[in-house]
Amino acid sequence: MDQELRKHVTKTGTTTVGIVCKDGIVIAADKRATYGGDGGVSYIAGKNQDKILEVNSDIIVTTAGVASDTRKLIKIVRAELKLKELKARTRSTIKQAANLFSSIAYQNIRQPSMIPAITHFLLGGKDIEGVYLYDINPDGFLIQSTDFVATGSGMVHCNPILDSDYKKGLTLEEGTALAKKCIMASMGRDPASGEGIDIYTVTKDKIEQVSKQKIELTLKDQ
């Protein structure tokens, strides 16, 4: 990609976390968007970026990568799932939705382009079989997580905390506190993560936003 063009590609930078609890899934993300070059963050493009988006009433995804590509892929999946629902008169399973995300990501990153379609999603969803957490990598690799996963530039600050603090059987309240701890640690060290925290929970009954917090970090806080 041309170096001047690269400077103006909007990226979600980012820190996103997914945690499997005994009674559901916790999904969390920061709220900073950046313009990035080869050296990393060159400019903070936005301070109120929603990085957890609804696909339908049963599915949410976090976004990391090139912002325009993540939004476009989500719109395509929304449309495809709705079309399938209308044709088959049945709701897609979470596994089917995750595979659709994976297939499109696989195809997109292999298309010759001046700007590679870099998209990384965490998918949390519910269907009649249960609740699920999937990690959909930029190259299309798909894996179901049974414990926790972190993505984005801030993941290096989250994984040590998750490795030490996560245990099987966490409640949603404990998982929410752990996710917040991870995002806070990342915002203190990762220049592409910041401004606030959004946290959602996914249970067999509903998807709910449980925290939307604006955070101003100072040098003293870090």
Which positions are annotated as active-site residues? Answer: 14
The strand ranges marked E within 14-98 are: 16-21, 24-30, 33-37, 40-46, 52-56, 59-65
Task: Return the closest-CA partner of residue 198 out of 50, 8, 40, 46.
Answer: 50
Is the torsion defined by CA of 139, 145, 147, 148 positive or negative? positive
- C-alpha–C-alpha distance, residues 200 and 6, integer Å: 32
